[in-house]
Amino acid sequence: MKSAVTISLVAEAKGGPFVFWDDLPAACRHAAELGFDAVELFAPGPDAVSQSELAALLKSHSLGLAAVGTGAGWVKHKLSLTSPDTETRQSAADFIRSMIDFGGPHGAPAIIGSMQGRWGEGVSKEQALDWLKAALNDLGEHARRYNIPLIYEPLNRYETNLINTEAAGASLMESLQTDNVRLLADLFHMNIEETSIASGVKDGGRWIGHVHFVDSNRRPAGCGHLDYEPILAALREIQYEGYLSAEALPWPDPVAAAKQTIDAYRQLVG
Ligand code: LER
Ligand code: MN
């Protein structure tokens, strides 16, 4: 397993669960100095940073790009893959495709979290899931050209009413035509929704392709009440080899949150 830490460049997401904020070069420097393998980027859009600037920053700090978030499509533009409005759904898919093209050259998969939206307001659950599946099939195949998967994230019930658990996520993966979508296991959402986080990890099993490494209260690992040993044992059991990426509040401040995370990671993973 590899370590990663989040960086947000999205002003509208202020107060959200991202460790580093606003200054990409400084965040990369801190991440490298602390010994992270990679960074995960939450950017306002595909033009937030040029491909060459991003490549140069990653190279100069020997950092990987673990993943790119697509949630700015929701927080900035109110786009959703399950909107009742056809054009909004199309724009949502276009935005995600552009983020796949943004991360793809760096080997970083795009994450669909809040862009999945929710059913209601005249849209049935069945209809919303059909739209979601069609988008995952299409965008999952688009990601393949970069030899990376697309990542789909089950969220807790306060953020979506579509898929809340890893078991439901695994069923969704099995119902797709593409085999190029993987599940995200976000320990914060799982703490709310799963009977046990370790069994949730096993439910996700071979589908899990990314982990948001965070504590029960969304503070950095070790600052809440999660018991990480059984979670790590479950991740080893499913032979997970991807990132443990700190999507956590910058508590008490970004550098301290990152240091707390890498210390917890080293204690748990070695
Ligand atoms: C949102 O709660 C979250 O966990 C993000 O990773 C997805 O937008
Ligand atoms: Mn997450």
- Interval 109-163: pLDDT, tens: 999 999 999 999 999 999 999 999 999 999 999 999 999 999 999 999 999 999 9
How many angstroms separate the alpha carbon of residue 186 from the centre of ligand 2?
A: 5
Percent share of the chain, pLDDT over 70: 100
Ligand nearest to the CA of 211: 2
Q: Is the CB of 194 under 6 A from ligand 1?
A: no
CA 55, 60, 62, 68 dihedral sign is negative
Kindly list the domain boundaries of the chain, sorted by start residue: 2-269
What's the pLDDT score for residue 152?
A: 99
What's the pLDDT score for residue 221?
A: 98
How many angstroms separate the alpha carbon of residue 70 from the centre of ligand 1?
A: 9
The pLDDT confidence band at residue 14, using thresholds 50, 70 and 90, is: very high
The pLDDT confidence band at residue 198, using thresholds 50, 70 and 90, is: very high
Q: Compute the distance between CA of residue 70 and CA of residue 205 in angstroms, rounded to an integer.
A: 24
The pLDDT confidence band at residue 99, using thresholds 50, 70 and 90, is: very high
The pLDDT confidence band at residue 223, using thresholds 50, 70 and 90, is: very high
What's the pLDDT score for residue 18?
A: 98
The pLDDT confidence band at residue 37, using thresholds 50, 70 and 90, is: very high
CATH of 2-269, one of 3.20.20.150, 3.40.50.2300, 3.50.50.60, 2.60.120.330: 3.20.20.150
What's the pLDDT score for residue 237?
A: 98
CA distance to 99, 118, 150, 171, 251, per residue, from 154 (Å): 19, 12, 13, 12, 24
Atom of ligand 1 nearest to the CA of 114: 8
Q: Is the CB of 186 under 6 A from ligand 1?
A: yes
The pLDDT confidence band at residue 267, using thresholds 50, 70 and 90, is: very high
Query: Quick check: 209 and 184 in contact, CB under 8 A?
Result: yes
Spell out the SS3 assignment of 8-66: ECCHHHCCCCCCEECCHHHHHHHHHHHCCCEEEEECCCCCCCCHHHHHHHHHHCCCEEE
- Interval 63-87: pLDDT, tens: 999 999 999 999 999 999 999 999 9
The pLDDT confidence band at residue 175, using thresholds 50, 70 and 90, is: very high
253, burial (CB in 10 Å: exposed 0-12, middle 13-18, buried 19+):
exposed
Q: Is the CB of 193 under 6 A from ligand 1?
A: no
Closest CA to 98 of 70, 138, 136: 70
Return mean pLDDT, the chain. Answer: 98
- Interval 177-193: pLDDT, tens: 999 999 999 999 999 99
What's the pLDDT score for residue 199?
A: 98
Query: Quick check: 153 and 164 in contact, CB under 8 A?
Result: no
What's the pLDDT score for residue 42?
A: 98
- AA letter at 214: V
- Interval 38-54: pLDDT, tens: 999 999 999 999 999 99
- State in Å, rounded, how far the first CA of the chain is from the last one: 10
Return the H-helix or E-strand segment holding 129: helix 125-144
